[in-house]
Amino acid sequence: MSLSFPFPHVNTKLHVPTIRPGLVARPRLSRQLDRCVQHKLLLISAPAGFGKTTLLSQWSQQSARPVAWVSLDATDNDPMHFWSYVVAALDKLEAGVGENVLPLIHTPHPEPVGYLIPALINSVATIPDHFVLVLDDYYCIESDAIHEALAYLLDYAPPNMHVILATRTEPPLPLAQWRARGQLLELRAADLRFSVEETERLFDQVTGLSLTAKDVVALQERTEGWVAGLQLAALATRERPGPLEMMSVRDFRGDHQYVTDYLASEVLQQQPDPVRAFLLQTAILDTLNGSLCDALTGQADSRITLEGLHQQNLFITALNRKGQYRYHPLFADFLRGQLHRDPSADLPALHLRAADWYERHGDLDQAVDHTLAAGRTAEAIELVDRTARQHVMRGEFATLLRWMEALPKDLVRTRPRLCVYQALAMRR
């Protein structure tokens, strides 16, 4: 008996996505996915382009357990849409499992937790084997009613039901509670990153070229194992003629056209205007914290904004538990490129605000760098004069010489002490 839906039903949303031939096998992650049957929920949470869907597609096609799949999008924020697709996916595994549930979805103003979810739980309990329900792109779901109903479903799911959520953002579900109960398995960006060995295999399969060990390590470090970044680097290299050493693999950056196109469409354009403005204004920073970002943006809640960006997996890494973060290197490159092309951006002003903050907090090295970036050489040489002796005493000659090279020579000549320090640094 085929199920009757109250709206046009897109069957391909229930199909495991087709994978391209020649993809890099990732057995270490497949073994982790196999463990999902020991938990109620497996959460795969990472930024765009970390290979979540591809990994799940590869695993689903070889899994020993039956897999029901739903590819979600923004239209599924309607609970009727969402639960209709879930029921349809489960019915593909066990014909008739949705027969008693779907009519409840059709009723006016359904209350999922009240009676729909209990009926669904009772129905899936009749499926004889353990099975997995994959909800891909769960970050598209913003409906509180759906989150509440899914949490209820997971709390009372029968032992044979296991759910995998693939998402770019942290879902508003009681994860801490399930984690404490041992009911939650998690894969994060750190788990999904390509290793050096996987990077080498990917590059070989995409380009047909063998990288030197040095290039592989440099590329893996530059992308931090970001799968989409590595694939874009491989495509860029394949399309450039000439010997491999001329392709600047180690110089692949976030301002490459392939990367900017991807991050602009998949990340930056998806953000609300205040978040986009925050990202661009803080892109000049190597490390971020709430107070520093407040100084640059003029807002008073940057700490909360940073926590939100981290929770959304927006290519930002927490450096410690003290509220310090950094952007992914390629994302930072991309944001800085966007900032330089923004006619309304006042880059010198941003750098001066950063320099003032660093000087007030005793970090003269960063203060010098941002003052130089603002083009304020007179102020910069004052700062260099204050810190040069410490650099010489610590043997940090490269930093001192870099500053001297950036300062006008005629200005340096007016500072005899600096000239002495420069001479000492050059002798080393």
pLDDT in tens, 252-310: 788 888 899 999 999 999 999 999 999 999 999 999 999 999 999 999 999 999 999 99
Eight-state DSSP code of residue 414: T
Q: Whose structure tokens read 């509180």?
A: 144
- The number of residues in the chain equals 428
pLDDT tens digits for 359-377? 999 999 999 999 999 999 9
Q: Predicted confidence band at 238 (pLDDT cuts at 50, 70, 90)? A: low
Q: Predicted confidence band at 243 (pLDDT cuts at 50, 70, 90)? A: very low
pLDDT tens digits for 137-179? 999 999 999 999 999 999 999 999 999 999 999 999 999 999 9
Residue 115 to residues 120, 126, 152, 158, 196, Cα–Cα distance (Å): 9, 18, 11, 16, 50
Q: For residues 70-75, give the mean pLDDT.
A: 95
pLDDT at 2: 61
pLDDT at 295: 97
pLDDT at 420: 87
Contact (CB, 8 A) for 325 and 220: no
Contact (CB, 8 A) for 81 and 147: no
Q: Predicted confidence band at 426 (pLDDT cuts at 50, 70, 90)? A: confident
Residue 54 exposed, middle or buried by CB count within 10 Å (0-12, 13-18, 19+)? middle
pLDDT tens digits for 3-62? 666 667 788 999 999 887 778 889 999 999 999 999 999 999 999 999 999 999 999 999
Contact (CB, 8 A) for 401 and 425: yes
The tokens of 27 are what? 């057995």
Q: Predicted confidence band at 425 (pLDDT cuts at 50, 70, 90)? A: confident
pLDDT at 104: 82
Q: Mean pLDDT across the chain, nearest whole number? A: 89
Closest to 408 in 3D by CA, of 377, 365, 387:
377
